[in-house]
Amino acid sequence: MSSDEGCRPLRGKVLLPASGVLTEDGIPFYHLIRYALKPIHLQRVKQCGIELKIGQFSNEENNLLERNWERYAAANNVDCSRAYEFAGGYSREMDADERTNLLVFQNKTNFVPAMCEGLNDRTGRQVISRMLIMYHPGEKNRLEWNNELEEQFEKLYAEGCSSRAISIRLQRSKAEIDYRINLLRRRTEKPCDFDDYDTELTDSARQVLYGFVTKWLLPRNCPSELEEMLPEKETWNVADFALLQDQEKAISYLPWLSLTWKMLRPVPVIKKLWLKEVDRLRATCERFNGDTEKATDACMPKLPLISVGEYRRALSLFLEQKPMFPSRIDIEQLQRRIEEENLVGYCTNGLIEGEFLKRMLCGHIVNFRHATRTMNFNCVDWITVLIEYLTHLDGSLRKWHYSMKKCREREVRKVTFTVILMKRKCLIKFAMEKMRQETIAILKELLE
C-alpha cells in the first residue's frame, strides 16, 4: 500500500478484491480494518473456503501478536509501551486532532495488517480487540480469578451494580465482567417460556421491526443467499420478504441480534413477532391482488421521530424529579407526567415513552461528557446543558438526535461553560444569602 493510500480512512468501506481475499499487496482484505465486516465481506471469505475462528485466542496466537507488535514498533520507531494506545485504549482521552494524527500514522505504516500477520483465520477487529485486553495497563498485575473475587462479584451484582461499575471496583476489564455476568445468569436464572410470550405489537414496535427488515433488503446489505430466494426486482420491500415460503431459512440470513437492544426483547421473541406479521402481510397482499408495494404501505406504521421541541419539553419533566444520577429517575412518575402533558405520538422503538426518553437522555449525557471532558456534573446539570443546547436548534427538527454531526464539540463546550457559570453564580448567591442570614442572627443576639 502506498503512502497516499495509507492516508485514506478504510473503516467499513473496504473494497473487495476482484477475486479471492488477497489485495494487490498480498494482504487479506479482512486484515485492512479494525471494524466489523459486512455480510458481503463475510460471504466472500466463506466462498473462498476460509473459516474464521471465534472465541478466545490461544497461547500461540497471543505470542504471535506480541511478536508482531514488537516488530512493528521497532520498524516504525514507536515505544513498545504504547501498545494499548495504538490499539485504541486511550481514544476517549485524546482530542480530535490527536486521534486523527494517530490513525493517519497507522494507515501509512500498515498497523492493522502488521498486527494480523500470521493470523489468517482472525479478522482485524478480533486482533485489535485482543491487543486491548493483552496490553491493558491493569493486565500485568492482574490476579487470576479466584473464589474471593467471585464472592465480591456476586455481591456487587446482587446489589444492582452495572458491569462498568463492577469492572472498576474489581479492577477487571468490562468484557470479562460481562462474561462473568452471562455465566452467572445461566446458572441462576430460569429460561423464558417464549411460547407464552405476549405477541401483540404496538405501532412503534412494528415500525422498528419493518424498518429493520427493509434495511437488510437494500441491495448493498442483502446477503447473496437471500437475494437468490427473493423475486427478480430492482428493489424489495417487507411484503416481498413475507411472501417467501421458507420463512425459517429466510430469517436466518438477517442479524436479529442487533434488534435486541432497541426492542428490549430476546431474539426468539422478535422472530416470533415477525412471523405473526408475516401472516398479516400475506393477508394484505391478497386483498391488494398481490401488489406488495400497496400491502407494505398499508401495514407499515408511519410514526414520526421525536422533535427537538418535544424532547425539550420532556427534559423539563426530568428536571421535576431533580435526579442526581440517571438511575434515580422514576420511570412510572415520568410516564404519568408525559401522559398528562400529552407528549406522545412519536416512535419509541416499542418501549413506553418514559423508558425510551430515559435511554435517549443517557446516550446524550455520554456523548456530551466525551465532547466536553466534564466529569463533575450530575444528572440535573447535564439535563440543563441539553436544554440550553437544544435552544440553538429548530424545534421542528425530527432527525437531529440520530446524527451526532449536529452535536458539534465547540457548541457543546460553549453551552456547558455557560451552565458552569450559571451554577457558580447560583452557589455564590446562595453563599451570600446564607452569610447575610447568619450576620442578621448574630446582630440580633448582640442587641438582645
| Residue 446 belongs to some domain of the structure | no
* C-alpha distance from residue 328 to each of 12, 322, 370, 376 (Å): 38, 9, 22, 17
For residues 316 and 341, membership in a common domain is answered with yes
Q: Is residue 435 part of a domain?
A: no
Q: How far apart are CA 417 and CA 351, in angstroms?
A: 34
Backbone angles phi, psi at 221, to 5 degrees: -110, -25
Q: Residue 78 corresponds to which cell in the numbers above?
A: 514507536
SS3 (DSSP) at 22: strand
Q: Which of 239, 269, 297 is the last residue of a domain?
A: 297
Three-state secondary structure along 248-290? HHHHCCCCHHHHHHHHCCCHHHHHHHHHHHHHHHHHHHHHCCC
pLDDT (tens digit per residue) in 107-149: 999 999 999 999 999 999 999 989 988 887 766 556 678 888 8
Confidence band (pLDDT; 50, 70, 90) for 2? very low
* pLDDT tens-digit readout, 352-411: 888 889 988 888 888 777 766 666 678 888 888 788 778 877 888 877 665 444 445 555
179 and 205 fall within a common domain: no
pLDDT of residue 84 exceeding 70: yes
Per-residue pLDDT for 428 more than 50? no
* DSSP 8-state secondary structure symbol assigned to residue 36: P
Residue 13 lies in a domain: no
pLDDT of 422:
52
| Mean pLDDT of all residues in 240-259 | 89
DSSP labels for 289-344? TT-HHHHHHHHS--PPPPPHHHHHHHHHHHHHT--SSGGG--HHHHHHHHHHTT--
- Shared domain for 315 and 290, answered yes or no, is no
How much is the pLDDT for 406? 45
What is the four-CA torsion angle of 79, 102, 164, 128, rounded to 10 degrees? -70
Provide the whole-model pTM: 0.50
Q: Going by C-beta distance under 8 Å and a sequence separation of 6 or more, which residues neighbour residue 323?
A: 329, 379, 380
Confidence at residue 77, expressed as pLDDT on a 0 to 100 scale: 93
Answer whether residue 11 shows pLDDT above 80. Answer: no
Q: What string of H, E and C letters represents the secondary structure of 221-253?
A: CCCHHHHHHCCCCCCCCHHHHHCCCCHHHHHCC
Written as nine digits, the cell of 118 is 500470521
Q: Is residue 313 part of a domain?
A: yes
194 exposure class (CB count in 10 Å sphere: 0-12, 13-18, 19+) = middle
- Please indicate, yes or no, whether residues 129 and 152 belong to a single structural domain of this protein: no
Q: Are residues 422 and 334 in the same domain?
A: yes
Domain of 375?
Answer: 306-429
> Do 372 and 340 touch, CB atoms closer than 8 A?
no
User: Is 377 inside any structural domain?
Assistant: yes
- Number of structural domains (the chain) is 4
- Which among 116, 146, 148, 110 has a CA at the least distance from the CA of 129? 116
Domain presence at residue 110: yes
Residues 111 and 180 in one domain: no
Rg (CA), the chain: 27
**Residue 360 included in any domain:** yes
Q: What is the number of alpha carbons within 13 Å of residue 5 lying toward its C-beta?
A: 9
Interior angle at CA 419, CA 429 and CA 370, nearest 5:
140
Residue of 289, 199, 290, 304 lying closest to 237 (CA atoms) = 290
Residues 316 and 421 placed together within one structural domain of the fold: yes
Question: pLDDT for 153-171, tens place per residue?
Answer: 888 888 777 777 787 778 7
CB 112 within 8 A of CB 65: no
